[in-house]
Amino acid sequence: MSHVSLFGVCCDLIESDRTALNVQISEYAVLDDGTRVHFSLATGFSVSRSVGVPLTVEFLEEQVRAALATDSGGCRPWDQILFILSGHGVSTLLEELPGIPLAIEYSDELLGEVSTR
**Whole-model pTM?**
0.85
Q: For 12, which DSSP code?
A: E
Whole-angstrom Cα distance, residue 68 to residue 64? 6
- What pLDDT digit, counting tens, does each position of 56-106 carry? 899 899 999 888 886 556 678 888 899 999 988 888 899 999 999 999 999
Give the pLDDT confidence of 21-61 residue by residue, as tens digits: 899 999 999 999 999 999 877 688 998 877 667 788 998 99
pLDDT at 96: 92
Closest CA to 69 of 9, 6, 4: 9
pLDDT at 110 over 80: yes
Q: For residue 78, is it left (φ>0), alpha (ψ between -120 and 50) or beta?
A: alpha
